[in-house]
Structure 1
Amino acid sequence: MLSLHINNETSRLKAVILGIAREIGEQPELEDAYDPKSAEHIKAGTYPEEKDMVKEMKAVEEVLKKYDVEVYRPKVIEEYNQIFTRDIGFVIEDKFIKANILPDREREIDAIQHVINQVKQENVVKFPDEVHVEGGDVMPHGDYIFVGTYRGEDYSNYITARTNTKAVEAIQELFPHKKVKSFNLRKDNDDAKNNALHLDCCFQPVGKNKAIIHKNGFLEKEEYEWLVNFFGKENVFEITKEEMYNMNSNVFSIAEDVVISEKNFTRLNTWLRENGITVEEVPYAEIAKQEGLLRCSTLPLIRE
């Protein structure tokens, strides 16, 4: 059996599900794009190719193995995008929560069922259908659980709005002893530079007490300021609109002092190293074209 254990984003990683880029099928049609960034690359003829994405994911797998992390992979479904495992589920404490994701992506959960089967069944949670949630919006942080959401009345107009306020309530009910803090995120179906698809697209804790953040990802100035105060201004790395667009906040922590990051994130990687964090650089710029990066393609199961 798998003894799940996740209380934060940065403790030493022991086991993870890493997405897979094989047999991904044809480039999607423009009308089938789930996010503005993929749409942009489909239009421009620069949508990533399978062989490049397979190579990028292999580099991540090698880093994980170097740190003795147990790596699980989804079963391959032909002609199906299975890169972003974080969207389809997440772990808090000893619970595996199945995400309620876009209906077109239901089969992705089936492909990791062999892992879910190793979890005590009473610890596998599926919320009711009206509770929308994806793992990119959910971050356990000690006594807190941070949740990205969209509170607008026009929620249903946004394919980029993935986690609703019902999810915030459901998570609070499931973990009554935690403080669930939600953040209203900026959504845009057409402009990737103005769209925070998930909370991890504009914010992520790193190290012992630090965080990466992009102010414009948050619709409420007070909520952004709450986070800056929570971590302390001196511990926060503010990323620009361009850096957010390139997914700088979507790195992935193996431990408090080890982060996997994209090799082109020069400014961020320098800051991480200045703060005593080892940066394992990988190429991930092709996968980034689908508005997801390292955190999106990993689903941690066990941290120390």
Structure 2
Amino acid sequence: MKNAVNVTSEIGKLQTVLLHRPGEEVENLTPEYLQRLLFDDIPYLPIIQKEHDVFAETLRENEIEVLYLTDLLSEALHSEEIKEQFVHDILTESKISVDDSFYVISEYLLSFDTPEMIKKIIAGVRKDEIEHIKKKHLYEILTSHYPFYLDPMPNLYFTRDPAAVVGNGLAINKMREPARQRESLFIDYIVNYHPRFKNQEIPIWFNRDFDYPLEGGDVLVLSKDTIAIGISARTAAKSIERFALNLFNNQNSVKRVLAVEIPKSRAYMHLDTVFTMIDVDKFTIHSAIQDSNGEMDIYVLGQGSDPETLNIAHKTNLLETLKEVLELKEILLIPCGGGDIIAGPREQWNDGSNTLAIAPGKVITYDRNYVTNQLLRENGIEVIEVPSSELSRGRGGPRCMSMPLVRKDLE
């Protein structure tokens, strides 16, 4: 059996990808709780599902195996013992006190068959679904107006973030925001209990029990020996150091990690919202991450003198740093929206820089970013557009919506 996971570049021919089709969790968004659940708007479910189906079919048309997160998890929870443990862990991470409410909600979830139970957990458990649970604590009384026992998980269709494949191993991520922290638990159970993965002895480069956050949208595999990780609103420097040390101490391929600092804002959530690799020598970039002199802070991490230390070199020129680590004489940075003061930030907000390379020089993008898409074509990139009127409301593009599990190695 081939490796269940293998990613040694951002652009190698994509072979297997993990998706989640948006479901009822999207319809459990309301204006009052948008900020809590990390949304700016409420997508229209029938259309967002149609758009996601087009995205999935586009991948299949390009001979890419599409796996769905809910299917894998359902197959992973193949015994009552594992299923019960999963529910226990979900409720614990949801901060449900271990009292009567914990057991009532647990019993309610376990009354469903496995696929429906997973669907219910993702959609969220409303208080009016379960017979009245007596409030025994002050905090329960003070939050009695809140409609959910379990929050919905509307961000789950951005499968890029809960985990990241690097080489033949995996980072199972510690998500920064409470609304998303349960997502990587799904990956944990799939890796440990699904027959496709559990016997593969997949090395774990980073685990979700670390104290500081790391999210997959910040992790870019630039080559077999170099990865880039964003120091962002969602990924901490301490996590990058831990990830780098684990890589250097447990494998021989990755030699350096570029820690790339980007503005910590909602618009620039992860590194891949402002910078993605689309060919061996071409990248998309949102110009605003660089200062007026075209500089930014980049830290090149390498193995130190002992297993717990790193060598750290500070760089300020992204273009020259990429040339150096990728051993290329020329690299082209293609600005989102052409770098225009209006089109640039507009298309970046709509994920114009969040391209998914499915092969060298071949990318999937949102159709709404027509300025960036035309510029990509003018620079020799094959662009496949997918509809995005509702998908884009979640603030994530084609790369965000996909977790590559297997890519063909570059020759």
TM-score range for the pair, normalised by the shorter chain length: 0.7 to 0.9
Offset at residue 183 of structure 1 (A): 1.6
1:104 aligns with 2:182: no
Matched ranges for 1:21-60 at <5 A: 21-24=22-25, 25-33=27-35, 38-39=39-40, 41=41, 47-60=42-55
* Range moving further from structure 2, 122-131 or 275-284: 122-131
Aligned to 2:16: 15
Q: Which whole-Å CA distance do the structure 1 matches of 2:228 and 2:332 have between them?
A: 18
Residue 86 of structure 1 aligns to a residue in which SS?
coil
Aligned to 1:227: 318
Q: Which whole-Å CA distance do the structure 2 matches of 1:217 and 1:26 have between them?
A: 34
Offset at residue 186 of structure 1 (A): 1.0
Aligned to 2:216: 135
1:268 aligns with 2:351: no
After superposition, the C-alpha distances for 1:60-88 in whole angstroms (9 at most, x for unaligned) are 11111011111111115331322111111
Amino acid in the other structure paired with 2:355: V
The alpha-carbon distance between structure 1 residues 276 and 35, as it changes in their structure 2 partners (threshold 3 A), is farther
Amino acid in the other structure paired with 2:220: M
Amino acid in the other structure paired with 1:27: L
After superposition, the C-alpha distances for 1:140-181 in whole angstroms (9 at most, x for unaligned) are 11122111114xxxxxxxxxx210011110121122242111
Structure 1 counterpart of 2:275, from 179, 199, 203: 203
Q: CA RMSD in A?
A: 2.4
* Contact 2:162/2:187 (8 A) holds in 1: no
Matched ranges for 1:1-304 at <5 A: 2-24=3-25, 25-33=27-35, 38-39=39-40, 41=41, 47-75=42-70, 77-78=119-120, 79=123, 80-81=153-154, 82-101=156-175, 102-112=177-187, 115-116=190-191, 117=194, 118-119=196-197, 120-124=200-204, 125-142=206-223, 143-150=225-232, 161-176=233-248, 177-188=254-265, 192=266, 195-217=267-289, 221-223=295-297, 226-229=317-320, 230=322, 235-239=332-336, 240-304=344-408
* Contact 2:218/2:272 (8 A) holds in 1: yes
The alpha-carbon distance between structure 1 residues 170 and 300, as it changes in their structure 2 partners (threshold 3 A), is same
* Contact 1:132/1:162 (8 A) holds in 2: yes
Q: Which whole-Å CA distance do the structure 2 matches of 1:94 and 1:131 have between them?
A: 23
Amino acid in the other structure paired with 1:66: E
Structure 2: give runs of 5+ residues left out of the alignment: 71-117, 124-152, 249-253, 299-315, 324-328, 337-343
Q: Which whole-Å CA distance do the structure 2 matches of 1:28 and 1:227 have between them?
A: 41
Structure 1: give runs of 5+ residues left out of the alignment: 42-46, 151-160
Residue 14 of structure 1 aligns to a residue in which SS?
strand
* Contact 2:20/2:158 (8 A) holds in 1: yes
Offset at residue 236 of structure 1 (A): 1.0
Amino acid in the other structure paired with 2:52: M
* Contact 2:164/2:170 (8 A) holds in 1: yes
Aligned residues between the structures: 282
Residue 297 of structure 2 aligns to a residue in which SS?
helix
Amino acid in the other structure paired with 2:269: L
Amino acid in the other structure paired with 1:271: L
Q: Which whole-Å CA distance do the structure 2 matches of 1:34 and 1:202 have between them?
A: 24
Q: Which whole-Å CA distance do the structure 2 matches of 1:181 and 1:35 have between them?
A: 30
Identity of aligned residues (%): 26
After superposition, the C-alpha distances for 1:43-73 in whole angstroms (9 at most, x for unaligned) are xxxx211111111110111111011111111
Higher relative CO (Cα under 8 Å, sequence separation at least 6) belongs to: 1
Q: Which whole-Å CA distance do the structure 2 matches of 1:217 and 1:290 have between them?
A: 21
Question: TM-score, with normalisation over the residues of structure 2?
Answer: 0.63
The alpha-carbon distance between structure 1 residues 266 and 221, as it changes in their structure 2 partners (threshold 3 A), is same
The structure having more radius of gyration, on CA atoms, is 2
Amino acid in the other structure paired with 1:18: L
The alpha-carbon distance between structure 1 residues 290 and 218, as it changes in their structure 2 partners (threshold 3 A), is farther
Offset at residue 32 of structure 1 (A): 4.5
* Contact 2:351/2:366 (8 A) holds in 1: no
